[in-house]
Structure 1
Amino acid sequence: MTLQARLDAFKADFEAGKPPYNVPPAVIETMHRATAELIASGAAARALKAGDEAPAFTLNDPDGKPVASADLLARGPLVVSFYRGAWCPYCNMELQALQAALPEFEKLGAGLVAISPQTAVNSRKSIRQNGLGFPILSDPHNDVAAAFGLRFALPEYLVELYKNLKNDLPAFNGDPSWTLPMPGRFVIGQDGTILYAEVNPDYTRRPDPEDMLPALRRAAEIAA
Protein backbone atom coordinates (compact mmCIF):
# COMPACT_ATOMS: atom_id res chain seq x y z
CA MET A 1 0.00 0.00 0.00
CA THR A 2 1.32 3.43 -0.91
CA LEU A 3 1.78 6.12 1.71
CA GLN A 4 -1.08 8.15 0.24
CA ALA A 5 -3.38 5.12 0.30
CA ARG A 6 -2.63 4.68 4.00
CA LEU A 7 -3.28 8.37 4.64
CA ASP A 8 -6.55 8.26 2.69
CA ALA A 9 -7.76 5.23 4.66
CA PHE A 10 -6.99 6.94 7.96
CA LYS A 11 -8.64 10.17 6.82
CA ALA A 12 -11.81 8.33 5.80
CA ASP A 13 -12.14 6.69 9.23
CA PHE A 14 -11.23 9.89 11.08
CA GLU A 15 -13.67 12.09 9.22
CA ALA A 16 -16.42 9.49 9.49
CA GLY A 17 -16.08 9.74 13.26
CA LYS A 18 -15.35 6.06 13.65
CA PRO A 19 -14.05 4.88 17.04
CA PRO A 20 -11.68 5.68 18.57
CA TYR A 21 -11.81 9.10 16.91
CA ASN A 22 -15.44 10.19 17.40
CA VAL A 23 -14.70 13.62 15.94
CA PRO A 24 -17.71 15.98 15.66
CA PRO A 25 -18.55 17.13 12.11
CA ALA A 26 -18.03 20.77 13.13
CA VAL A 27 -14.37 20.02 13.89
CA ILE A 28 -13.89 18.43 10.47
CA GLU A 29 -15.55 21.42 8.80
CA THR A 30 -13.19 23.82 10.59
CA MET A 31 -10.14 21.81 9.53
CA HIS A 32 -11.39 21.74 5.94
CA ARG A 33 -11.91 25.50 6.01
CA ALA A 34 -8.37 26.15 7.24
CA THR A 35 -6.87 23.87 4.61
CA ALA A 36 -8.91 25.46 1.82
CA GLU A 37 -7.82 28.94 2.91
CA LEU A 38 -4.16 27.93 3.03
CA ILE A 39 -4.44 26.44 -0.47
CA ALA A 40 -6.15 29.59 -1.75
CA SER A 41 -3.44 31.80 -0.23
CA GLY A 42 -0.91 30.50 -2.75
CA ALA A 43 1.66 29.98 -0.01
CA ALA A 44 2.86 26.67 -1.44
CA ALA A 45 3.69 28.29 -4.78
CA ARG A 46 6.06 30.67 -2.97
CA ALA A 47 8.06 27.85 -1.34
CA LEU A 48 11.49 26.90 -2.67
CA LYS A 49 11.52 24.75 -5.78
CA ALA A 50 13.86 22.47 -7.69
CA GLY A 51 16.72 24.55 -9.02
CA ASP A 52 16.76 26.93 -6.04
CA GLU A 53 19.61 27.02 -3.57
CA ALA A 54 18.76 25.40 -0.25
CA PRO A 55 19.30 27.58 2.83
CA ALA A 56 22.10 26.36 5.08
CA PHE A 57 20.98 25.47 8.59
CA THR A 58 22.24 24.23 11.93
CA LEU A 59 19.66 22.68 14.26
CA ASN A 60 19.85 20.57 17.39
CA ASP A 61 19.07 16.87 17.45
CA PRO A 62 17.03 15.41 20.35
CA ASP A 63 20.20 15.13 22.46
CA GLY A 64 21.00 18.81 22.03
CA LYS A 65 23.82 18.18 19.56
CA PRO A 66 24.02 20.73 16.73
CA VAL A 67 23.66 19.24 13.25
CA ALA A 68 24.77 21.37 10.30
CA SER A 69 23.44 20.88 6.79
CA ALA A 70 26.93 21.59 5.44
CA ASP A 71 28.32 18.61 7.35
CA LEU A 72 25.51 16.35 6.14
CA LEU A 73 25.98 17.43 2.52
CA ALA A 74 29.72 16.79 2.77
CA ARG A 75 28.80 13.09 3.08
CA GLY A 76 26.29 12.97 0.21
CA PRO A 77 22.93 14.22 -1.05
CA LEU A 78 20.35 14.97 1.61
CA VAL A 79 16.64 14.26 1.94
CA VAL A 80 14.93 16.81 4.20
CA SER A 81 11.36 16.31 5.38
CA PHE A 82 9.52 19.08 7.25
CA TYR A 83 6.60 17.91 9.36
CA ARG A 84 4.17 19.34 11.90
CA GLY A 85 4.81 17.24 14.99
CA ALA A 86 4.38 13.95 16.81
CA TRP A 87 0.75 14.90 17.53
CA CYS A 88 -0.11 14.65 13.80
CA PRO A 89 -1.02 11.10 12.70
CA TYR A 90 -0.42 11.94 9.03
CA CYS A 91 3.12 13.04 9.90
CA ASN A 92 3.78 9.84 11.84
CA MET A 93 2.69 7.70 8.90
CA GLU A 94 5.00 9.72 6.67
CA LEU A 95 7.92 9.21 9.05
CA GLN A 96 7.27 5.46 9.01
CA ALA A 97 7.27 5.46 5.20
CA LEU A 98 10.55 7.39 5.13
CA GLN A 99 12.07 4.89 7.54
CA ALA A 100 11.03 2.04 5.25
CA ALA A 101 12.70 3.82 2.32
CA LEU A 102 15.87 4.70 4.23
CA PRO A 103 17.87 1.66 2.98
CA GLU A 104 17.19 2.74 -0.63
CA PHE A 105 18.34 6.26 0.15
CA GLU A 106 21.51 4.97 1.79
CA LYS A 107 22.31 2.76 -1.20
CA LEU A 108 22.40 5.94 -3.26
CA GLY A 109 24.70 7.61 -0.72
CA ALA A 110 22.01 9.93 0.62
CA GLY A 111 21.26 11.00 4.16
CA LEU A 112 17.85 11.75 5.67
CA VAL A 113 16.71 14.19 8.35
CA ALA A 114 13.27 15.30 9.48
CA ILE A 115 12.66 18.81 10.81
CA SER A 116 9.85 19.82 13.15
CA PRO A 117 9.13 22.80 15.41
CA GLN A 118 8.56 20.48 18.37
CA THR A 119 10.82 20.36 21.41
CA ALA A 120 13.52 17.74 21.88
CA VAL A 121 11.45 15.60 24.24
CA ASN A 122 8.72 15.32 21.61
CA SER A 123 11.29 14.48 18.92
CA ARG A 124 12.57 11.66 21.10
CA LYS A 125 8.98 10.46 21.39
CA SER A 126 8.63 10.53 17.58
CA ILE A 127 11.82 8.52 17.12
CA ARG A 128 10.82 5.97 19.73
CA GLN A 129 7.19 5.50 18.66
CA ASN A 130 7.95 5.31 14.94
CA GLY A 131 11.13 3.22 15.22
CA LEU A 132 13.23 5.76 13.34
CA GLY A 133 16.85 5.32 12.37
CA PHE A 134 17.35 8.92 11.24
CA PRO A 135 17.50 12.15 13.25
CA ILE A 136 14.69 14.59 13.94
CA LEU A 137 15.93 18.15 14.30
CA SER A 138 14.13 20.86 16.29
CA ASP A 139 13.40 24.08 14.39
CA PRO A 140 12.55 26.74 17.01
CA HIS A 141 9.96 29.25 15.80
CA ASN A 142 9.93 27.42 12.44
CA ASP A 143 12.78 29.67 11.31
CA VAL A 144 14.35 27.14 8.93
CA ALA A 145 10.89 26.20 7.65
CA ALA A 146 10.38 29.91 6.92
CA ALA A 147 13.67 30.03 4.98
CA PHE A 148 12.30 27.22 2.78
CA GLY A 149 8.98 29.09 2.42
CA LEU A 150 6.93 26.69 4.53
CA ARG A 151 5.98 28.59 7.72
CA PHE A 152 2.44 29.86 8.16
CA ALA A 153 0.43 31.25 11.05
CA LEU A 154 -2.71 29.43 12.11
CA PRO A 155 -5.88 31.53 11.78
CA GLU A 156 -7.51 32.52 15.05
CA TYR A 157 -10.48 30.18 14.61
CA LEU A 158 -8.10 27.23 14.17
CA VAL A 159 -6.10 28.30 17.23
CA GLU A 160 -9.33 28.21 19.24
CA LEU A 161 -10.16 24.75 17.87
CA TYR A 162 -6.72 23.43 18.81
CA LYS A 163 -7.09 24.87 22.30
CA ASN A 164 -10.48 23.18 22.68
CA LEU A 165 -8.91 19.89 21.53
CA LYS A 166 -6.12 20.33 24.12
CA ASN A 167 -3.57 20.51 21.32
CA ASP A 168 -1.34 23.09 23.00
CA LEU A 169 1.17 23.93 20.26
CA PRO A 170 2.99 26.62 22.30
CA ALA A 171 3.77 24.04 24.98
CA PHE A 172 4.53 21.31 22.46
CA ASN A 173 6.88 23.54 20.47
CA GLY A 174 8.21 25.79 23.22
CA ASP A 175 7.08 28.72 21.09
CA PRO A 176 4.05 31.02 21.63
CA SER A 177 3.63 31.94 17.96
CA TRP A 178 1.08 29.31 16.82
CA THR A 179 2.91 28.68 13.54
CA LEU A 180 3.45 25.44 11.66
CA PRO A 181 5.29 24.32 8.54
CA MET A 182 3.43 23.14 5.51
CA PRO A 183 4.59 19.54 4.97
CA GLY A 184 7.55 19.70 2.61
CA ARG A 185 10.01 17.21 1.15
CA PHE A 186 13.30 18.21 -0.48
CA VAL A 187 16.27 16.47 -2.07
CA ILE A 188 19.38 18.64 -1.86
CA GLY A 189 22.46 17.95 -3.95
CA GLN A 190 25.94 18.21 -2.47
CA ASP A 191 26.39 21.62 -4.05
CA GLY A 192 23.35 22.89 -2.14
CA THR A 193 20.99 22.90 -5.12
CA ILE A 194 17.47 21.61 -4.55
CA LEU A 195 16.91 18.72 -6.94
CA TYR A 196 13.39 17.79 -5.84
CA ALA A 197 10.74 19.75 -3.96
CA GLU A 198 7.21 18.78 -2.95
CA VAL A 199 5.17 21.14 -0.78
CA ASN A 200 1.47 20.69 -0.10
CA PRO A 201 -0.76 23.02 1.91
CA ASP A 202 -3.10 20.05 2.45
CA TYR A 203 -1.45 18.16 5.31
CA THR A 204 -3.33 14.98 4.40
CA ARG A 205 -1.49 14.75 1.07
CA ARG A 206 2.10 13.43 1.10
CA PRO A 207 4.31 12.12 -1.74
CA ASP A 208 5.60 8.58 -1.62
CA PRO A 209 9.30 8.33 -0.71
CA GLU A 210 9.95 6.51 -3.99
CA ASP A 211 9.11 9.75 -5.82
CA MET A 212 12.48 11.11 -4.71
CA LEU A 213 14.57 8.24 -6.09
CA PRO A 214 15.08 9.72 -9.61
CA ALA A 215 16.50 12.92 -8.06
CA LEU A 216 18.71 10.88 -5.74
CA ARG A 217 19.99 8.83 -8.66
CA ARG A 218 20.85 12.04 -10.53
CA ALA A 219 22.67 13.31 -7.45
CA ALA A 220 24.62 10.07 -7.23
CA GLU A 221 25.62 10.35 -10.90
CA ILE A 222 26.79 13.94 -10.41
CA ALA A 223 28.87 12.94 -7.41
CA ALA A 224 30.44 9.95 -9.23
Structure 2
Amino acid sequence: MFFIACLVLGSVVGMTAIYFAIRAPTLGSIVGVFLASFPILMSIVFYTTFKESKPPLGDIQVKVGDAIMPITAVYGDGETFRLDDLQGQRILLKFFRGAWCPYCSMELKMFEDMKPIFERFDVKIVALSNDAPMAALKHQQRDQLTHLLLSDPELKVIKQYGVEHHKALGGDGASSLTLFGLPFPTKMKYKPMAIPTSILIDEKGIVRWIDQAEDVRLRASEEKLTAALKDAFTD
Protein backbone atom coordinates (compact mmCIF):
# COMPACT_ATOMS: atom_id res chain seq x y z
CA MET A 1 0.00 0.00 0.00
CA PHE A 2 2.87 2.38 0.77
CA PHE A 3 4.32 1.84 -2.69
CA ILE A 4 0.93 2.47 -4.32
CA ALA A 5 0.47 5.64 -2.25
CA CYS A 6 3.89 6.82 -3.44
CA LEU A 7 2.87 6.15 -7.05
CA VAL A 8 -0.34 8.16 -6.65
CA LEU A 9 1.50 11.03 -4.99
CA GLY A 10 4.24 10.92 -7.63
CA SER A 11 1.66 10.97 -10.42
CA VAL A 12 -0.09 14.00 -8.94
CA VAL A 13 3.21 15.84 -8.52
CA GLY A 14 4.26 14.77 -12.02
CA MET A 15 1.08 16.02 -13.66
CA THR A 16 1.38 19.30 -11.77
CA ALA A 17 4.98 19.70 -12.93
CA ILE A 18 4.01 18.94 -16.53
CA TYR A 19 1.17 21.50 -16.36
CA PHE A 20 3.48 24.32 -15.25
CA ALA A 21 6.23 23.22 -17.66
CA ILE A 22 3.86 23.44 -20.62
CA ARG A 23 2.76 26.93 -19.57
CA ALA A 24 6.36 28.20 -19.52
CA PRO A 25 8.47 25.92 -21.73
CA THR A 26 12.25 26.04 -21.27
CA LEU A 27 15.06 23.55 -21.70
CA GLY A 28 14.90 22.81 -17.99
CA SER A 29 11.14 22.33 -18.10
CA ILE A 30 11.47 19.83 -20.96
CA VAL A 31 13.81 17.76 -18.80
CA GLY A 32 11.33 18.14 -15.95
CA VAL A 33 8.50 16.83 -18.14
CA PHE A 34 10.61 13.81 -19.05
CA LEU A 35 11.33 13.01 -15.39
CA ALA A 36 7.77 13.73 -14.28
CA SER A 37 6.40 11.25 -16.81
CA PHE A 38 7.99 8.25 -15.05
CA PRO A 39 5.65 8.00 -12.03
CA ILE A 40 2.70 8.56 -14.36
CA LEU A 41 3.87 5.73 -16.62
CA MET A 42 4.41 3.45 -13.63
CA SER A 43 0.92 4.22 -12.33
CA ILE A 44 -0.59 3.34 -15.71
CA VAL A 45 1.26 0.01 -15.73
CA PHE A 46 0.09 -0.85 -12.21
CA TYR A 47 -3.49 0.22 -12.92
CA THR A 48 -3.56 -1.96 -16.04
CA THR A 49 -2.19 -4.87 -14.01
CA PHE A 50 -4.84 -4.36 -11.33
CA LYS A 51 -7.57 -4.70 -13.96
CA GLU A 52 -6.18 -8.07 -15.08
CA SER A 53 -5.04 -9.46 -11.75
CA LYS A 54 -7.11 -12.67 -11.58
CA PRO A 55 -5.49 -15.67 -13.30
CA PRO A 56 -7.58 -18.69 -14.36
CA LEU A 57 -7.02 -21.44 -11.80
CA GLY A 58 -8.12 -25.05 -11.70
CA ASP A 59 -6.09 -26.70 -14.47
CA ILE A 60 -2.96 -27.62 -12.48
CA GLN A 61 -1.91 -31.19 -13.26
CA VAL A 62 -0.22 -32.12 -9.97
CA LYS A 63 -1.44 -32.30 -6.38
CA VAL A 64 0.12 -32.87 -2.99
CA GLY A 65 1.33 -36.46 -2.77
CA ASP A 66 1.95 -36.86 -6.51
CA ALA A 67 5.31 -37.67 -8.01
CA ILE A 68 6.67 -34.65 -9.85
CA MET A 69 6.51 -34.77 -13.65
CA PRO A 70 9.67 -34.59 -15.77
CA ILE A 71 10.93 -31.14 -16.74
CA THR A 72 13.09 -30.17 -19.68
CA ALA A 73 13.90 -26.46 -19.99
CA VAL A 74 16.77 -24.17 -20.97
CA TYR A 75 19.46 -22.49 -18.89
CA GLY A 76 20.24 -18.82 -19.52
CA ASP A 77 23.32 -19.85 -21.51
CA GLY A 78 21.19 -21.98 -23.85
CA GLU A 79 22.15 -25.36 -22.41
CA THR A 80 19.44 -27.94 -21.71
CA PHE A 81 18.22 -28.50 -18.15
CA ARG A 82 16.51 -31.70 -17.01
CA LEU A 83 14.96 -32.21 -13.60
CA ASP A 84 16.95 -35.43 -13.31
CA ASP A 85 20.00 -33.16 -12.91
CA LEU A 86 18.68 -32.42 -9.40
CA GLN A 87 17.66 -35.95 -8.47
CA GLY A 88 17.65 -36.44 -4.70
CA GLN A 89 17.45 -32.66 -4.08
CA ARG A 90 14.63 -30.85 -2.29
CA ILE A 91 13.26 -28.18 -4.63
CA LEU A 92 10.94 -25.21 -4.59
CA LEU A 93 9.75 -25.07 -8.19
CA LYS A 94 8.53 -21.55 -8.96
CA PHE A 95 6.53 -20.75 -12.08
CA PHE A 96 6.54 -16.98 -12.61
CA ARG A 97 5.29 -14.52 -15.22
CA GLY A 98 8.60 -13.11 -16.43
CA ALA A 99 11.53 -10.78 -15.79
CA TRP A 100 9.30 -7.81 -16.66
CA CYS A 101 6.85 -8.49 -13.78
CA PRO A 102 7.54 -6.32 -10.69
CA TYR A 103 5.57 -8.68 -8.43
CA CYS A 104 7.63 -11.66 -9.58
CA SER A 105 10.82 -9.66 -9.11
CA MET A 106 9.88 -8.81 -5.51
CA GLU A 107 9.01 -12.44 -4.79
CA LEU A 108 12.26 -13.82 -6.18
CA LYS A 109 14.21 -11.18 -4.23
CA MET A 110 12.33 -12.32 -1.11
CA PHE A 111 13.47 -15.87 -1.84
CA GLU A 112 17.03 -14.52 -2.02
CA ASP A 113 16.62 -12.87 1.39
CA MET A 114 15.29 -16.18 2.70
CA LYS A 115 18.31 -18.10 1.46
CA PRO A 116 19.50 -19.04 5.00
CA ILE A 117 16.07 -20.56 5.68
CA PHE A 118 16.09 -22.55 2.43
CA GLU A 119 19.62 -23.73 3.17
CA ARG A 120 18.55 -24.87 6.65
CA PHE A 121 15.99 -27.17 5.01
CA ASP A 122 18.34 -28.03 2.12
CA VAL A 123 15.92 -26.66 -0.49
CA LYS A 124 17.03 -25.36 -3.89
CA ILE A 125 15.05 -22.68 -5.75
CA VAL A 126 14.25 -23.45 -9.40
CA ALA A 127 12.31 -20.62 -11.07
CA LEU A 128 10.85 -20.94 -14.56
CA SER A 129 9.10 -18.58 -16.99
CA ASN A 130 8.59 -18.37 -20.73
CA ASP A 131 11.20 -15.62 -21.07
CA ALA A 132 13.85 -16.20 -23.71
CA PRO A 133 17.11 -17.65 -22.30
CA MET A 134 18.97 -14.34 -22.72
CA ALA A 135 16.19 -12.46 -20.87
CA ALA A 136 16.40 -15.01 -18.04
CA LEU A 137 20.16 -14.52 -17.84
CA LYS A 138 19.80 -10.73 -17.74
CA HIS A 139 17.12 -11.08 -15.07
CA GLN A 140 19.46 -13.14 -12.91
CA GLN A 141 22.21 -10.55 -13.28
CA ARG A 142 19.89 -7.55 -12.83
CA ASP A 143 18.40 -8.75 -9.54
CA GLN A 144 21.60 -10.51 -8.39
CA LEU A 145 19.79 -13.80 -7.91
CA THR A 146 21.53 -17.03 -7.02
CA HIS A 147 18.44 -19.11 -7.85
CA LEU A 148 18.38 -21.32 -10.89
CA LEU A 149 16.38 -19.35 -13.50
CA LEU A 150 15.13 -21.43 -16.41
CA SER A 151 13.55 -20.57 -19.73
CA ASP A 152 10.51 -22.31 -21.20
CA PRO A 153 9.98 -20.12 -24.31
CA GLU A 154 7.43 -22.45 -25.95
CA LEU A 155 5.55 -22.99 -22.65
CA LYS A 156 5.97 -26.76 -22.89
CA VAL A 157 6.58 -27.25 -19.16
CA ILE A 158 4.05 -24.56 -18.22
CA LYS A 159 1.36 -26.31 -20.28
CA GLN A 160 2.43 -29.75 -19.03
CA TYR A 161 1.85 -28.63 -15.44
CA GLY A 162 -1.43 -26.89 -16.29
CA VAL A 163 -0.29 -23.48 -15.03
CA GLU A 164 -0.75 -21.49 -18.24
CA HIS A 165 -2.49 -18.13 -18.22
CA HIS A 166 -3.59 -18.38 -21.84
CA LYS A 167 -4.06 -14.67 -22.54
CA ALA A 168 -2.76 -12.03 -20.16
CA LEU A 169 -1.32 -8.57 -20.55
CA GLY A 170 2.44 -8.77 -20.14
CA GLY A 171 5.75 -7.28 -21.15
CA ASP A 172 9.05 -8.29 -22.63
CA GLY A 173 11.77 -9.21 -20.15
CA ALA A 174 14.50 -8.08 -22.54
CA SER A 175 13.19 -4.51 -22.81
CA SER A 176 11.98 -3.76 -19.29
CA LEU A 177 12.88 -0.49 -17.61
CA THR A 178 14.20 -0.66 -14.04
CA LEU A 179 12.91 2.02 -11.67
CA PHE A 180 13.34 2.10 -7.89
CA GLY A 181 14.88 -1.36 -8.10
CA LEU A 182 11.84 -2.90 -9.85
CA PRO A 183 11.24 -3.80 -13.50
CA PHE A 184 8.52 -2.09 -15.52
CA PRO A 185 7.64 -3.23 -19.05
CA THR A 186 8.02 -0.62 -21.77
CA LYS A 187 6.00 -2.70 -24.25
CA MET A 188 2.81 -4.51 -23.30
CA LYS A 189 0.77 -7.04 -25.25
CA TYR A 190 -1.61 -9.94 -24.66
CA LYS A 191 0.21 -13.25 -24.63
CA PRO A 192 0.34 -16.60 -22.78
CA MET A 193 2.49 -16.91 -19.65
CA ALA A 194 2.73 -18.84 -16.40
CA ILE A 195 0.32 -18.46 -13.51
CA PRO A 196 2.44 -17.67 -10.42
CA THR A 197 2.72 -21.08 -8.78
CA SER A 198 5.02 -22.54 -6.11
CA ILE A 199 5.50 -26.32 -5.81
CA LEU A 200 7.56 -27.75 -2.95
CA ILE A 201 9.14 -31.10 -3.80
CA ASP A 202 10.96 -33.46 -1.43
CA GLU A 203 14.13 -35.42 -2.12
CA LYS A 204 12.07 -38.39 -3.37
CA GLY A 205 10.38 -36.25 -6.02
CA ILE A 206 7.03 -36.07 -4.18
CA VAL A 207 4.97 -32.87 -4.11
CA ARG A 208 4.63 -31.66 -0.51
CA TRP A 209 2.99 -28.23 -0.90
CA ILE A 210 1.41 -26.14 -3.67
CA ASP A 211 0.59 -22.45 -3.65
CA GLN A 212 -1.06 -20.60 -6.54
CA ALA A 213 -1.69 -16.87 -6.68
CA GLU A 214 -5.40 -16.08 -6.88
CA ASP A 215 -4.29 -12.51 -7.62
CA VAL A 216 -1.03 -11.95 -9.53
CA ARG A 217 -0.18 -9.06 -7.21
CA LEU A 218 -0.26 -11.26 -4.10
CA ARG A 219 2.15 -14.07 -3.26
CA ALA A 220 2.90 -16.27 -0.26
CA SER A 221 4.56 -14.34 2.54
CA GLU A 222 7.87 -15.28 4.12
CA GLU A 223 5.94 -16.54 7.15
CA LYS A 224 3.65 -18.76 5.06
CA LEU A 225 6.54 -20.19 3.07
CA THR A 226 8.62 -20.84 6.18
CA ALA A 227 5.66 -22.63 7.75
CA ALA A 228 5.32 -24.81 4.62
CA LEU A 229 9.02 -25.73 4.81
CA LYS A 230 8.75 -26.63 8.49
CA ASP A 231 5.61 -28.68 7.91
CA ALA A 232 7.16 -30.59 4.99
CA PHE A 233 10.66 -31.19 6.34
CA THR A 234 10.53 -31.23 10.13
CA ASP A 235 10.17 -34.68 11.67
**TM-score, structure 1 as length reference:** 0.73
Identify the residue that residue 102 of structure 1 maps to in structure 2: 115
Shift of 1:12: 4.5
RMSD: 2.9
Of 204-213 and 99-108, the range deviating more from structure 2: 204-213
1:167 aligns with 2:187: yes
1:22 aligns with 2:45: no
Residues 10, 40 of structure 2: 8 Å contact kept: yes
Look up the equivalent residue of 2:67 and give its one-letter code: E
| Counterpart-to-counterpart distance in 2, 1:27 and 1:111 | 32
Are the structure 2 counterparts of residues 51 and 26 from structure 1 closer, same or farther at C-alpha, using a change threshold of 3 Å?
Answer: same
| Counterpart-to-counterpart distance in 2, 1:107 and 1:146 | 32
User: Which segments of 5 or more consecutive residues in structure 2 lack a partner in the other structure?
Assistant: 12-35, 171-184
Following TM superposition, the consecutive aligned residue runs of length 4 or more in structure 1 with deviations greater than 6 angstroms are 24-27
1:69 aligns with 2:104: no
Identify the residue that residue 138 of structure 1 maps to in structure 2: 151
- Is the radius of gyration larger for structure 1 or structure 2? 2
Look up the equivalent residue of 2:53 and give its one-letter code: T
Residues 92, 201 of structure 2: 8 Å contact kept: yes
For 2:87, what is the secondary structure of its paired residue?
helix
Are the structure 2 counterparts of residues 215 and 28 from structure 1 closer, same or farther at C-alpha, using a change threshold of 3 Å?
Answer: closer
1:35 aligns with 2:46: no
Structure (1 or 2) with the greater strand fraction: 2
Identify the residue that residue 182 of structure 1 maps to in structure 2: 195
Look up the equivalent residue of 2:86 and give its one-letter code: L
For 2:154, what is the secondary structure of its paired residue?
helix
User: Which segments of 5 or more consecutive residues in structure 1 lack a partner in the other structure?
Assistant: 1-7, 160-164, 170-176
Please point out which of 3, 6, 9 is paired with 2:2: 9
Aligned residues: 196
Identify the residue that residue 73 of structure 2 maps to in structure 1: 59
**Percent of pairs with identical residues:** 25
